[in-house]
Amino acid sequence: MKKYVALITAFILLFTGVFLATALPVSAQVPPLQNEAIPDNLSNYGEARTGASAAFYLVFIWRALIFVGGLMVIIYFILAAFEWITANGEASKISSARNKMTGAIAGFIVLSALFVLLEFLGGLFGFDVLSPTIPTPTQAPVNPGTFI
């Protein structure tokens, strides 16, 4: 019986020693956690203070809306073409499909004109609308805990 108690005690001491040796904190410097889904320029407090991240959001939303608009134009055009194909010669269905195709083409023209207009205004005034740069003050505080 004493052998078993001694064996169990030795096992517990060995397990406790290994556990404590591996659980001790290391003195290595651990980098801060960074969410990989968030771009670096959105987690920078200095850029948030100057408004660069707000400009990034606006450009991101604008690009997303243009993408969704272009996707809707394509889908709407394909659905109108399918409606035309399945009209079986009925004038009302063909007219409805033609109107939908005309609307899709008009939407594409509006999206293209908006893109060209922004590029033209950016070239005319000397700034890039699609990737804006926000001027920052030279003496801006770096500490994110201070409020201006």
pLDDT at 56: 73
Structure tokens at 12: 């517990």
* Separation of alpha carbons 47 and 132, rounded Å: 13
pLDDT in tens, 135-148: 555 555 555 555 55
pLDDT at 79: 92
| Residue ranges of domains in the chain | 50-134
* Separation of alpha carbons 17 and 2, rounded Å: 22
Q: Confirm whether pTM is higher than 0.75.
A: no
pLDDT in tens, 64-123: 888 898 899 999 999 999 999 999 889 999 999 999 999 999 999 998 898 888 888 878
* Separation of alpha carbons 66 and 110, rounded Å: 10
Residue 53: CA count within 13 A, CB half-sphere: 12
**pLDDT above 90 coverage of the chain, percent:** 24
> What is the enclosing helix (H) or strand (E) of 46?
helix 45-50
* Separation of alpha carbons 148 and 141, rounded Å: 9
What integer is the mean pLDDT of 30-47?
Answer: 62
* Separation of alpha carbons 142 and 44, rounded Å: 10
